Amino acid sequence: NAIGGFSNPLSPGVNIWVEGKRAFGHTRYGYAYEGPPGHIHGGYIAAIFDQFLGMAQAAAGNPGMTGKLSVRYLKPTPLNTELDLEAEVSRLDDRKTLVVGKITANDQITAEAEGLFIRPSNFFLPKSE
């Protein structure tokens, strides 16, 4: 994919791992993703959250598609800086999963997001044993 796909030449790559029902990640965005001078374009911040929050909701066992994504930009997110990502499921409701997350750079939260993911009614889920 365009955000975390290591084989996609447009992707900066995102290292994502899951611990329990929480997702963590690291990434670094270079000059190709610049918006305001020296900082990542806000559209890429939203794209990071869309992909990353989606990984967290899938880890909770209720995968679905983005129904709503709300991003709060707190500070400009710097380019060429290690970014720490964190997300967790805050609510599961049948086919809907609400996920919250944040991006941190230099020990400061630069953006927060809330995503609502909806599993289509015809989406196949393997039965757990």
Could you report the per-residue pLDDT of 74-106, keeping only the tens digit for each?
999 999 999 999 999 999 888 899 999 999 999
pLDDT above 60 (res 129):
no
Q: Are 96 and 116 in contact (CB under 8 A)?
A: yes
Q: Please tell me the pTM assigned to this model.
A: 0.88
Could you report the per-residue pLDDT of 43-66, keeping only the tens digit for each?
999 999 999 999 888 887 778 899
